[in-house]
Amino acid sequence: MSLTRRGFLIGLPLLVGACTSTRSTNTYINAYAAVPDDRFPLPAMSLNRIDPELRRQEVHYETDHPKGTIVVDTANKFLYWTLGNDRAIRYGVGVGRQGLAFRGRGYIGRKAKWPSWTPTANMLRTNPEANMPYRNGVPGGPNNPLGARALYLYRGGSDTMFRIHGTNQPRSIGLAMSSGCIRMLNHDVIDLYERVPTGTRVVVIQA
């Protein structure tokens, strides 16, 4: 996240999946058009600002995970929403620094539009200088580090404090620089939010 350093390690087992992908075959040309009817309208995003490989697109994706699974490939900075029949929608993402990233399996426990954000007690303890100014929370909006949408990852009935979320720093997509969560372009996280129901399975693969 852009305003914090998330000081925790989710110790889920490393998952080595038999997942491979090939060159993309269907780019969503209008994926980054203006979103005027949202709570905080988004302007169109120029494709020149987005690496072609990181743009939202439908791709060939061989995987054992069933249709309707979110698979995050942290090494290659991609998130896949599986469609079945070796197809998936692929999104570019930013990922957590080494040692701070979620790994393994979880599920979407809840979803939020333009979510508020409050640093956790652990964040306040480990990095008070950066996080204490936000101890009372940051309301949802364009300046919020969670961006336009957030998908909250749960495991065993408990919130892992790990999120798939939008970002107000689009240039961070494709990089390993967030504080542990998986960030997406706001246009992309809005698209994913509309596709995935609560309870969706999530698999995060670490290299």
Residues paired with residue 106 on neighbouring β-strands, in sequence order: 202
Q: Are 184 and 166 in contact (CB under 8 A)?
A: yes
| HEC string for the chain | CCCCCCCCCCCCCCCCCCCEEEEEEEECCCCCCCECCCCCCECCCCHHHCCHHHCCEEEEEECCCCCCCEEEECCCCEEEEEEECCEEEEEECEEECCCCCCCEEEEEEEEEECCCECCCHHHHHHCHHHHHHHCCCECCCCCCCCCCEEEEEEECCEEEEEEEECCCCHHHCCCEEECCCEECCHHHHHHHHHHCCCCCEEEEECC
Query: Active site includes 19?
Result: no
Distance separating alpha carbons of residues 174 and 1, to the nearest angstrom:
14
Residue linked to tokens 């969503």? 28
Name the catalytic one among 19, 60, 65, 165: 165
Residues identified as active-site: 165, 181
